[in-house]
């Protein structure tokens, strides 16, 4: 080995010692700029997604080691269909490694200070008049645009976009530099004349007419909504041990997020139930349970909502025990996760008229805490004792206060109910 070569080897070793640990620990040496476009195409019942990905190798390690990059890992949602990838010359091969995680194999080696541009395209399924989908983006180097036909009302989970109103479409743009940390929902509907599907629930004291109002193209939603209603009402009646309390029939209307004021659904009594078009059957059962909770004349929101969610659990447990358990576990876990930041006594919990991104967490926590308490009461005293206290609750004419509630439940059981006070006060 001559002297020059020795010096070079020594320098390489030194550089390796000095710089390698830093470079390994620092992912910022790679930059990926992403340009994501979401195009809502109701005629095709599809959102076409195209992501232009510009990968830049700025990892100086690869300069010394003659290293290069030749693939890229990227997450795609499980709902993505017809996935293709290509660069300006030809197809880019890819493979799914774990759920959603795809590796894309570049058609060129990307040496230090070089870059590689390619495209990933896929489709998301929507309906003719409703679209609910998620923007799955990460980091700060992403620009996002969403193009929606102008006859759709669109609501996006974050509002720091610029809206460009064109002749036939609305374009929502998030410029590069904004931080993307979690998936963001887009809710978009084309309000058209509603159609109606009818059914009858045979309940203890009378037959109750059910009317489901829905947008054209949402026949499946309407049928599912009617079926869940017809199955749930008799279970709610049986488990409350109180006949359906209202004199009027039930109407359920498929609604936009503006119409539900940000909620998944709400029950406005005689005027019917308004359901966000993307809401689950669990929310529908919750709204149906409110026919009974409102009859109890609860003074406190936590009782109204806690009982609605408890009876959603009990009903779902008969229809689909796995789903009921999963929902219960999710609620309890969410309560424990949020407790540190949002805890407050339940007697101070209020829900706002409408939900925005600031009030969302407080509202969410209140629901979870109310459920955790009512579920614990149910576990402590059992269904039969709950039914006997339900009789007292529905017979009350004045609003039932926290104290009266504890008295009523305590009188139906020999169990110690002091734990409830720790949640309420
Ligand atoms: Zn509710």
The pLDDT of residue 158: 92
Helix (H, G, I), strand (E, B) or coil at 235: helix
Give Cα separations from 3 to 6, 9, 10, 13 (angstroms).
Answer: 5, 10, 10, 15
CA of 275 to the centre of ligand 1 (A): 12
* Residues ≥6 apart with Cβ < 8 Å to 10: none
CA dihedral of residues 325, 328, 330, 336 (deg, nearest 10)? -140
Please tell me the number of Cα atoms within 13 Å of 311 on its side-chain side. 29
From 56, 61, 51, select the one nearest 30 (Cα to Cα): 56
pLDDT band at 65 (very low <50, low <70, confident <90, very high): low
The number of beta carbons lying within 10 Å of the beta carbon of residue 10 is: 10
pLDDT band at 415 (very low <50, low <70, confident <90, very high): confident
The pLDDT of residue 98: 86
CATH value of 297-425 in 3.40.50.800, 1.10.390.10, 2.30.40.10, 3.10.20.30: 1.10.390.10
CA of 368 to the centre of ligand 1 (A): 12
Q: What is the mean pLDDT of residues 96-101?
A: 90
User: CA 56, CA 114: separation in Å to the nearest integer?
Assistant: 6
Domain with CATH 1.10.390.10 in the chain: 297-425
Given a cut of 70, is residue 23 above it in pLDDT?
Answer: no
Q: What is the mean pLDDT of residues 68-73?
A: 93
CA of 363 to the centre of ligand 1 (A): 11
CA of 340 to the centre of ligand 1 (A): 24
CA of 302 to the centre of ligand 1 (A): 10
User: CA 302, CA 299: separation in Å to the nearest integer?
Assistant: 9
Burial class (CB in 10 A: 0-12, 13-18, 19+), 155: middle
CA of 287 to the centre of ligand 1 (A): 6
Per the CB < 8 A criterion, the answer to whether 48 and 128 are in contact is: no
Q: What is the mean pLDDT of the chain?
A: 90
CA of 67 to the centre of ligand 1 (A): 58
CA of 300 to the centre of ligand 1 (A): 12
CA of 417 to the centre of ligand 1 (A): 24
Give Cα separations from 16 to 63, 110, 265 (angstroms).
Answer: 12, 21, 60
CA of 196 to the centre of ligand 1 (A): 24
Better-predicted residue by pLDDT, 223 or 13: 223
CA of 306 to the centre of ligand 1 (A): 8
230-272: per-residue pLDDT in tens? 999 999 999 999 999 999 999 999 999 888 888 899 999 999 9
From 117, 48, 68, 53, select the one nearest 89 (Cα to Cα): 117
Query: CA triplet 352, 358, 363: central angle to 5 degrees?
Result: 45
Say which CATH class 28-189 falls into. Answer: mainly beta
Domain with CATH 3.30.2010.30 in the chain: 191-290
pLDDT band at 24 (very low <50, low <70, confident <90, very high): very low
CA of 290 to the centre of ligand 1 (A): 7
326-351: per-residue pLDDT in tens? 999 999 999 999 999 999 999 998 87
Tokens 């720091």 map to which residue? Answer: 160
Domain with CATH 2.60.40.1730 in the chain: 28-189
CA of 307 to the centre of ligand 1 (A): 9
Q: H helices within 74-159, ranges in order? A: none
Q: What is the mean pLDDT of residues 310-336?
A: 97
CA of 292 to the centre of ligand 1 (A): 11
**pLDDT-above-70 percentage for the chain:** 92
**Fold classification of 191-290 (topology level):** Zincin-like (3.30.2010)
Q: What is the mean pLDDT of residues 3-26?
A: 38
CA of 232 to the centre of ligand 1 (A): 16
Q: H helices within 154-218, ranges in order? A: none
CA of 266 to the centre of ligand 1 (A): 7
CA of 31 to the centre of ligand 1 (A): 46
pTM beyond 0.85: the answer is no
188-205: per-residue pLDDT in tens? 999 889 999 999 999 999
Please tell me the number of Cα atoms within 13 Å of 66 on its side-chain side. 0
Identify the helix (H) or strand (E) that includes residue 20.
Answer: helix 3-25
Structure tokens belonging to residue 410: 């305590």
The pLDDT of residue 16: 35
160-180: per-residue pLDDT in tens? 999 999 999 999 999 999 999
Question: What is the total residue count of the chain?
Answer: 425
The pLDDT of residue 6: 43
Given a cut of 90, is residue 99 above it in pLDDT?
Answer: no
User: CA 58, CA 33: separation in Å to the nearest integer?
Assistant: 13
CA of 156 to the centre of ligand 1 (A): 23
Per residue, the 3-state secondary structure of 275-343, as one string, reads EECCCCHHHHHHHHHHHHHHHHCECCHHHHHHHHHHHHHHHHHHHCHHHHHHHHHHHHHHHHHHHHHHC
CA of 408 to the centre of ligand 1 (A): 22
Per the CB < 8 A criterion, the answer to whether 46 and 147 are in contact is: no
């Amino acid at each position: 080995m001559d002297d020059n070569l020795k010096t070079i080897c020594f320098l390489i070793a030194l550089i390796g010692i000095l710089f390698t640990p830093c470079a390994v620990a620092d992912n910022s040496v790679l930059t990926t700029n992403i340009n994501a476009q979401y195009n809502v195409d109701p005629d095709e019942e599809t959102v076409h997604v195209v992501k232009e990905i510009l990968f830049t190798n700025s990892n100086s390690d690869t300069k010394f080691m003659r290293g290069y990059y030749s693939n890229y890992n990227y997450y795609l949602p499980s709902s993505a269909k017809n996935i293709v990838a290509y660069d300006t010359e030809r197809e880019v091969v890819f493979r799914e490694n774990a759920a959603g995680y795809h590796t894309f194999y570049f058609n060129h080696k990307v040496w230090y200070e070089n870059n590689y541009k390619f495209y990933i395209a896929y489709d998301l399924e929507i309906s003719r008049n409703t679209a609910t989908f998620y923007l799955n983006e990460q980091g700060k180097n992403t620009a996002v645009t969403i193009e929606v036909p102008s006859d759709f009302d669109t609501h996006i989970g974050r509002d720091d976009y610029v809206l460009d109103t064109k002749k036939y479409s609305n374009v929502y743009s998030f410029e590069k530099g904004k931080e993307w940390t979690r998936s963001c929902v887009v809710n978009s509907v084309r309000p058209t004349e509603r159609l109606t599907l009818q059914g009858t629930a045979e309940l203890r004291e009378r037959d109750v007419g059910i009317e489901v109002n829905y947008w054209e193209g949402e026949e499946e939603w309407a049928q599912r909504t009617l079926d869940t209603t017809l199955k749930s009402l008799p279970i709610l009646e049986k488990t409350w041990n109180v006949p359906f309390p209202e004199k009027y029939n039930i109407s359920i209307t498929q609604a936009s997020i503006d119409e539900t004021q940000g909620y998944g659904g709400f029950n406005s009594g005689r005027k019917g139930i308004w359901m966000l078009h993307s809401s689950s059957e669990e929310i529908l059962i919750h709204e149906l349970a409110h026919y009974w909770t409102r009859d109890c004349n609860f003074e406190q929101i936590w009782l109204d909502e806690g009982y609605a969610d408890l009876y959603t659990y009990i009903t779902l447990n008969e229809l689909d025990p796995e789903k009921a358990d999963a929902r219960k576990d999710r609620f309890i876990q969410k309560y424990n996760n949020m407790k540190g930041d949002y805890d407050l006594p339940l007697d101070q919990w209020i829900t706002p008229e409408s939900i925005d991104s600031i009030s969302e967490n407080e509202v969410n926590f209140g629901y979870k805490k109310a459920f955790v308490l009512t579920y614990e009461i149910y576990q402590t005293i059992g269904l039969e004792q709950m039914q006997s206290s339900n009789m007292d609750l529905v017979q009350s004419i004045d609003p039932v206060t926290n104290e009266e509630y504890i008295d009523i439940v305590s009188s139906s059981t020999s169990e110690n109910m002091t734990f409830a006070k720790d949640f309420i006060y």
